[in-house]
Amino acid sequence: MNLYIDNHKFHYEMENLCRAFLFTEDVAVIHEYDTLEKPYILTSVHDEVRVELCTDEVRDALSAPLCDDNELCMGQLLYRLLSKAYDRELPWGILTGVRPIKLFSRLCDRDGEEAARRLFRDTLYVSGEKTALAKQVRDNQAAILSRSDKRSFSLYVSIPFCPTRCNYCSFVSQTVEKAKKLIEQYIPLLLSEIRYTAELTKELDLRLESVYIGGGTPTTLSAQQLDILLSEIEADFDLSTCAEFTVEAGRPDTVTAEKLQTLKSHRVTRISINPQTFSDSVLEHIGRKHTSQQTIDAYRLARELGFDNINMDLIAGLTTDTPKSFEKTIDIVRELDPESVTVHTLAVKRSARLNSSDAVREHGYTAAMLAYAAKELTAGGYEPYYLYRQSKMLSNLENIGWAKPGFFSPYNVYIMEETHSILACGAGAVTKLRDTGSDYLERIFNFKYPYEYISRFDEMIQRKERVKSFYGEYNE
């Protein structure tokens, strides 16, 4: 589909909306052209806001007078045009942003809850079901968010290594095997970045709310390496105010008794063991080199060793998965009874080995999968407490963090709602500096890949000095 942009700056939003409807089709965004080539969508702002769809089967157009918010107006017109042509509604309507709860909360604070609900439903075309979900998530986050203030910060530590690469992954580098050889060089630098970050926070008198070690797969590290890393964090930071210390033990094939004992001997309060699915054939298809039995064994081992706060990540919409096998996955999760379950919707990124035509067979199933998960998890006593969206998610759905009351992860709420600064260490980590007096957020990017992180470490640390001057300008 050709998406023509005529005299406006809303190309990003219109492209996202088109992609949400035309999931399997390529959308080419064209700013300069002499003629219009079919099939196309033309979006223009001149003496009116206008959208036009032209394919072999359909020719239709909608327009509206110019107004104060031509972007919103164009989004509404395009949504209505495509919804009619493709006979579909999108659950999140014209919302293309990744943080719908943040928007909902802001509207509630500004206009009250009833007005926020109305705006979601009537102006942004969000379904009644998703609007109710937004309210429930907001309510569940309230207690955690109330603890966050201008002195708060959370610490993220990145371990960008995995035993092998899953084929739906867009996070770690292609050359997983090669990258793993860099671990020995990576760790001393990471420790030094952690030390430097801790010094900054002491100097600025900041208060640590949560720690999250993610990746990649942190348990790719040996027990001894994990011990060194955790000892460094404990020595450098005051953990007395820290409500959560998570380590992602994501891939069950990296979990051993020795590593779990190491985590347990430190201040780790929460781990994540991620099945993604309990279907062995789906696991094989997506290139995850472990079986569902390995996940169950790793989970039981963690329980035996005393872990009482375990999360499990699942993905709905994986290639070759079916509603039936997804239901089986949910049923097994309910039997295992972890404290929290994060249900992701597959997002097909360009950098993943899995492409959109692989995923298309599942398109349409995913909403039913999420509905089953919601029904069963609710019955199991879980509640939705954080939610975010990504581009290119199947059926334009969402990722939802479910947890039993008392086990909502503060880090997940803080990172989504961006209420305080996240200081991040390691390759691919992004420090987010938050001014709590306004909406202002400033990012400091670390180098993405381990080899760059290692070779350009000093340059990166220099960038981090900005943390100090930021707190001189904001949050005073």
* Burial category of 424 from C-beta neighbours within 10 Å (exposed 0-12, middle 13-18, buried 19 and up): buried
Question: Is 251 an interacting residue with respect to ligand SF4 (CB under 6 A)?
Answer: yes
Tokens of 380: 């199991």
* Alpha helix stretches (DSSP H) within 305-365: 323-336, 356-360
Burial 122-157 (b: 16+ CB within 10 A, else e): eebbbeeebbebbbebbebbeebeebbebbbbbbbb
Which listed range, 159-167, 322-330, 378-386, 397-405, lies at the site for ligand SF4 (CB under 6 A)? Answer: 159-167
The answer to whether 189 and 220 are in contact (CB under 8 A) is: no
**Residue 53 identity (one-letter amino acid):** L
Question: Is 283 an interacting residue with respect to ligand SF4 (CB under 6 A)?
Answer: no
Radius of gyration (Cα) for the chain, nearest Å?
A: 23
Which listed range, 40-48, 144-152, 169-177, 443-451, lies at the site for ligand SF4 (CB under 6 A)? Answer: 169-177
Q: Residues 187 to 246: which contact ligand SF4 by CB under 6 A?
A: 215-217
Question: Is 250 an interacting residue with respect to ligand SF4 (CB under 6 A)?
Answer: yes
Smallest gap from residue 173 Cβ to ligand SF4 (A) = 10
Cβ nearer to ligand SF4, comparing 104 with 388: 388
Gap between the Cα atoms of 266 and 385, Å rounded? 27
Smallest gap from residue 54 Cβ to ligand SF4 (A) = 40
Smallest gap from residue 429 Cβ to ligand SF4 (A) = 14
Query: Measured between alpha carbons, how far is residue 211 from residues 186, 241, 423, 425, 445 in Å?
Result: 20, 11, 10, 11, 19
Half-sphere exposure at residue 253, Cβ-oriented, CA atoms within 13 angstroms: 12
Q: Which of 42, 116, 157, 169 binds ligand SF4 (CB under 6 A)?
A: 169
Smallest gap from residue 234 Cβ to ligand SF4 (A) = 25
For residue 244, what is the enclosing H or E element?
strand 244-248
Number of residues that bind ligand SF4 (CB under 6 A): 11
Q: Which of 137, 166, 206, 460 binds ligand SF4 (CB under 6 A)?
A: 166
Burial 82-96 (b: 16+ CB within 10 A, else e): bbebeeeebbbbbbb
Smallest gap from residue 428 Cβ to ligand SF4 (A) = 10
Cβ nearer to ligand SF4, comparing 166 with 394: 166
Of 361, 365, 363, 268, whose CA–CA distance to 326 is shortest? 365
The answer to whether 176 and 167 are in contact (CB under 8 A) is: no
Cβ nearer to ligand SF4, comparing 150 with 165: 165
Smallest gap from residue 397 Cβ to ligand SF4 (A) = 19
Question: Is 162 an interacting residue with respect to ligand SF4 (CB under 6 A)?
Answer: yes
Smallest gap from residue 432 Cβ to ligand SF4 (A) = 20
Smallest gap from residue 275 Cβ to ligand SF4 (A) = 12
DSSP state letter for 352: S
Q: Which of 81, 172, 343, 429 binds ligand SF4 (CB under 6 A)?
A: 172
Which listed range, 60-68, 158-166, 382-390, 417-425, lies at the site for ligand SF4 (CB under 6 A)? Answer: 158-166
Which listed range, 166-174, 236-244, 412-420, 429-437, lies at the site for ligand SF4 (CB under 6 A)? Answer: 166-174
Q: Which of 130, 138, 165, 259 binds ligand SF4 (CB under 6 A)?
A: 165
What are the residues binding ligand SF4 (CB under 6 A)?
A: 162, 165-166, 169, 171-172, 215-217, 250-251
